[in-house]
Chain A
Amino acid sequence: EMQLVESGGGLVQPGGSLRLSCAASGFTFSTYRMTWVRQTPGKGLEWVSYISSTGAPIYYADSVKGRFTISRDNAKNSLSLQMDSLRAEDTAVYYCARGYYTSALNAFDIWGQGTMVTVSS
């Protein structure tokens, strides 16, 4: 079964850091583009970051650029999101998602269950 499992969420103070991980299984991770998407509780989806199958190129949403860093380890079938200088508005459920084979950057066919990040003092 193709699966993505996120971990690393939790409560952090404003200005703090957190590192999210996403473990992939059931498919050849190294051949797929990956993305992080977040969802504010009770609200909509927001694209966060993208990484190609090889690790470059990488893209970020303007709202997280300079604060978040996406990376991947194809040998360990793992995707990460390092989040620094966290703000209250970063509070959300964070999903990792697999890019569908189409050329589009915005088609994601496999999603994890999500991990909650709460930024609060």
Chain B
Amino acid sequence: QSALTQPASVSGSPGQSITISCTGTSSDVGGYDFVSWYQQHPGKAPKLMIYDVSYRPSGVSNRFSGSKSGNTASLTISGLQAEDEADYYCSSYTSSSTRVVFGTGTKVTVL
């Protein structure tokens, strides 16, 4: 089972919106509404930002939103802030024997 494909880096200025893509196949992203997104700051554990494609856990800012179209899921961060600078990983359930697959990760830089 290969990792889901994410861009290595995305950048934006404070206040702008950015979108991170996560591309898989019909066996994972495209086949199930089980896509999650995680934020990870250096030296810290990941934090759940989005689950089941578009739902935010309690306490997560509504500046973060998720969506999916076909085999590609997306995380949009609106009103970009300095604290959003971090690595972001998507994850999907997969029908393969390895039940869960993560994305390759995207480094978000706030200019």
Contacts and interface: CB of A to CB of B under 8 A. Distances in A.
Interface residues of A, number: 28
B38 A45 contact: yes
Interface string B67-85: 0000000000000000000
A67 to B, nearest CB: 14
Interface residues of B, number: 28
B52 A47 contact: no
Interface string B24-47: 000000000011101000000111
Interface of B: 1, 3, 34-36, 38, 45-48, 51-52, 55, 57, 89, 91-93, 96-105
17 contacts: A45-B102, A45-B105, A46-B102, A60-B98, A62-B98, A100-B48, A102-B51, A103-B34, A104-B51, A104-B52, A104-B93, A106-B91, A106-B93, A107-B34, A111-B45, A111-B47, A114-B45
